[in-house]
Amino acid sequence: MVGTPVLFIAIPLLAAFLIPLLGMIWKESVRIVPGLVLMYLMVLAVSLMGHVAHNGPIIEIIAGWAPPIGINLVFNAFTGFLVTLIIFMGLLVWLYSYRFKSNVEYEPARKYFILLMMLVTGSTGVVLTGDIFNLFVFIEITSISAYALTAFYTGRDSAEASFKYVMMGSLASTMLLIAIMLIYSQLGTLNMADVASKIHLMDPTLKAISFILFVVALGVEAEIFPLNGWAPDAYAEAPGPVGAAFAGIVVKAMLYALIRFTYTIFDLSGAFNLLIIIGLLTLVIAEVAAIRQDKLKRMLAYSSIGQMGLVMVAFGIGTREGVFAALFIMLNHAIIKPLLFFSGSYLVYHSKKKYISDIDGMGKLAPFTSLLFALGAFAIVGLPPFAGFWSKLSFLVAAADNDMVLIIALILAVSIVEIVYYMRVVNRIFFFKRTTGLLARRPTFNAYIVMSVLGIIVLMIGFFPDTVTGYIQAAADSLFDKTQYIHSVLTASIQ
């Protein structure tokens, strides 16, 4: 072992406090240090994943107080999978934005990289923590970084998008806090495993109220309908890499929290149906909205919301196969949507309004970027043999096993809508005549590397899905095994 899970939080925090000091001595360090930290965390995540595969979950006790007294972190196959994914995406976003705008001055650059690193750290904390109040703290760390990153460009509308986000996020955190207090007032504990083992003692009405408050509060952050009003604006107005970070990192962490509450903590019977209903609503409304968008980033944002709806439905099936499919869709979405954001933001780089019509004929001007965008589009709509095909297939198989014919029909219908609006864009890129005089922007060297890496991963998952399914299966099993989670946390002691 090269370290313990608490380093995922402690090292970035230490670095964040250190960066202002280092920046006074050597200005370039504010760009380099976050990358070094994320690289170290990536190594740590991979080696801990190897450890978990052989020796079982790691329960990290903090401040020497075993659960339920103190706070604990849980690194098992499920949380480890998500942490590795989040940190990997954080590393790619860092690499991409390393020289994204080389003319950005020292002060904003320093703040951008600190905020980006804390966005990754907050999301990691949300996934790792085993305590519901600690979860609230990490959600706030993530949200505050996200608010600031949304308003990073000093343009006209970014502050407005961010203000909208702050309003919704702040009301959501109020609801989250009420729900946490309701649970504490009944059970006298805040530890997730301890709450889960005692939840049956709670008054059913209070239990239902607190569950609904949790779903609403986390639904705001995880872009679930009808609480996702902030998302399209935030995606459209934030810098390109930040949009990718939202899709690849923040939403994944928030969805994790929602799933942890549904699967592990609450034992409500109707919860899964609720997930299916709001998932389907989100999916249908988002995809219908996506087809009406004339701005590229807004279209990608609505598509992202739609994918989250699909993940919710898959979790709502409630079987092992359903969870497997949901995690597979999450993985694919976390890889493909950033690819689309990265390549898309280069395709509309010089366009003022970022309209979809501005990318007509871009295929000849910027063949590499266009090709990667097309690859991402093919993969996300689920054309074989690309990555999205396998996740959609596993989803349909899981739904078919449970005789959910109506849902399958609906999903297939929505998939056609999805294909229509993505293929419309791809068609414009390759087969339309260039009408505007705008030139293409050559990607930086780092952007080439990042986009190629993502493209290769998409192709690899597409042709050899077996390389990742083993990890996803282990993660799904670990989420499903509620008793083992509770037992391993409550019997943890200092090694």
Partner 1 sequence: MKKVLVILLLAVVGFYLADVFIGIGFGNDHFVKSDEIKPVKDIYLQQTVENLKVSNAVTSIVVNFRGFDTLGEVTVLFLSVTALGSILYRKRHHAGDRSVLFSASSIVTAGSKLLFPPILLLGAYVFIHGHLSPGGGFQGGVIIATGFLLMLLAYENYTVSHNALSIVESFAGITFAVIGLMGFMNGGTFLQNFLPVGTLNDLFSGGIIPIIYIAVGFKVAAELTGVIYTVLNEKGDQKNG
Partner 2 sequence: MDNTYYDLLTYVVYGSAILVMLIGLYAVLVKKSLLKIVIGLSIVDSGLNLLIVSLGYLKNGTAPIFSKGFFELAADKPMVDPLLQALVLTAIVIGFGVTAVALSLVIRLWRHHHTLYIDEIKNLKW
Q: What one-character-per-residue DSSP string does 313-347 give?
A: HHHHH-SHHHHHHHHHHHHHHHHHHHHHHHHHHHH
Told to check if 166 binds partner 2 by CB under 8 A, we report yes
Choose the binding region for partner 2 from 40-48, 169-177, 314-322, 419-427 (rule: CB under 8 A): 169-177
For 55, residues 6+ apart whose C-beta sits below 8 A from its C-beta are none
Distance CA 368, CA 364 (A): 9
Report in angstroms the alpha-carbon separations of 126 from 134, 138, 141. Answer: 8, 5, 10
Q: Does 33 bind partner 1 (CB under 8 A)?
A: no
Does 358 bind partner 2 (CB under 8 A)? Our answer is no
Q: Does a cis peptide bond (omega within 30 degrees of 0) precede residue 443?
A: no
Amino acid residing at 357 = S
Q: Is 171 in the site for partner 2 (CB under 8 A)?
A: yes
Is 277 a residue that touches partner 2 (CB under 8 A)? Answer: no
Residues 6+ apart with CB under 8 A from 428: 356, 357, 359, 360, 361
Here's the x/- map for partner 2, 211-230, by CB under 8 A: it reads as: ------------------x-
Binding flags for partner 2, 112-151, as an x/- string (CB under 8 A): ---------------------x---x--x--xx--xx--x
- Taking a C-beta distance cutoff of 8 angstroms, is the pair 315, 254 a contact? no
6 binds, among partner 2, partner 1, none (CB under 5 to 8 A by kind): partner 1
Shortest Cβ distance from residue 306 to partner 1 (Å)? 29
DSSP assigned state of 437: -
Place of tokens 């996934």: 127
Query: For residues 308, 311, 315 and 321, what is the CA-based torsion angle, rounded to 10 degrees?
Result: -170
Among the listed ranges 203-211, 221-229, 406-414, 459-467, the one in contact with partner 1 (CB under 8 A) is 203-211
Q: With binding defined as CB under 8 A, does residue 433 bind partner 2?
A: no
Q: Which of 28, 203, 294, 401 binds partner 1 (CB under 8 A)?
A: 203
CA distance 408 to 327: 18
| 423, 378 contact by CB (below 8 A) | no
Contacts with partner 1, 11-30, as mask; x by CB under 8 A:
--xx-xxx-xx--x------
Binding mask 126-165 for partner 1 (x = CB under 8 A): -------xx--xx-xx--xx-xx--xx-x----x--x---
Q: State the DSSP H helix or E strand holding residue 275, giving kind and residue range, or none if neither.
A: helix 271-291
Q: CA 218: distance to chain centroid?
A: 13
Decide: is 200 part of the binding site for partner 2 (CB under 8 A).
no
Q: Kindly report each contact of residues 267-272 with a partner whose C-beta sits within 8 Å and lies 24 or more positions away, as own/partner.
A: 267/199, 267/200, 268/207, 268/208, 268/211, 271/211, 272/315, 272/316, 272/317, 272/318
Pick from 45, 82, 83, 118 the residue near partner 1 by CB under 8 A.
118
Neighbours of 172 (CB within 10 A): 22
DSSP 474-494: HHHHHHH-HHHHHHHHHT---
Residue 198 binds partner 2, judged by CB under 8 A: no
Q: Applying CB under 8 A, does 254 fall inside the site for partner 1? A: no
Residue 432 binds: one of partner 1, partner 2, none (C-beta under 5 to 8 A by kind): none
Q: Which helix (H) or strand (E) holds 208?
A: helix 204-221
Eight-class DSSP state of 97: H
When binding is defined by CB under 8 A, the residue of 1, 36, 53, 69 that contacts partner 1 is: 69
Residue placing its CB nearer to partner 1 in the complex, 46 or 178: 178
* Residue whose C-alpha is closest to residue 235's, from 168, 292, 158, 310: 158
Determine if the peptide bond prior to 385 is cis (ω within 30°). yes
Q: Which of residues 337-376 bind partner 1 (CB under 8 A)?
A: none
Alpha-carbon gap, residue 235 to 59, rounded angstroms = 36
- Smallest distance from partner 2 to CB 243, Å: 15
* Subset of 231-270 contacting partner 2 (CB under 8 A): 233, 237
**Is 192 a binder of partner 1 (CB under 8 A)?**
no
User: Which amino acid type is present at position 453?
Assistant: V
Q: Considering the complex, what minimum distance in angstroms separates the CB of residue 178 from partner 1?
A: 8
Contacting positions for partner 2 (CB under 8 A): 133, 137, 140, 143-144, 147-148, 151, 154, 156-157, 159-164, 166-167, 169-171, 173-174, 177-178, 181, 184-185, 190, 229, 233, 237
**Chain contacts with partner 1 (rule: CB under 8 A):** 4, 6, 9-10, 13-14, 16-18, 20-21, 24, 60-65, 68-71, 105, 107-108, 111-112, 114-115, 118, 125, 133-134, 137-138, 140-141, 144-145, 147-148, 151-152, 154, 159, 162, 178, 182, 185-190, 198, 201-203, 206, 209, 494-495
